[in-house]
Amino acid sequence: MSERRESYTNADAVQYVGTDASVHELLNEATEWMQYATGVTELLSDLVHEADVVNCRRMALALEAVGAITRLGAQRVAQAHAMLHWEQAKAAAQA
């Protein structure tokens, strides 16, 4: 019998970007993750509206997935923001 996971932690959503990613690439990834989260949220909303009965366990897992996807997008934005400030500080130090 296979073991099923019923919940996920923040560590499950951590995906590291290579150090060679640019600010532009990070922001593009963030946009992509946010679009995924929007699509899944809209799909879940449609399913709940059309369903006679909602499986709360599956809905909770789906909402956790939306949270994880959103965290990935937010992480990319934070990384891009930090990289942008780092590059500005480096340029100011050289000037």
Produce one character per residue of 32-43: b if its CB has 16 or more CB atoms within 10 Å, e if not.
ebbebbeebeee
Q: What is the DSSP letter of 12?
A: G
Instruction: In whole angstroms, give the CA distance from residue 63 to residue 78.
Output: 22
- Residue 80, token pair as written in the block: 């891009």
Checking if the pLDDT of 89 tops 70, the result is yes
pTM of the model: 0.73
Mind listing the pLDDT tens digit for each residue in 24-73? 999 999 999 999 999 999 999 999 999 999 999 999 999 999 999 999 99
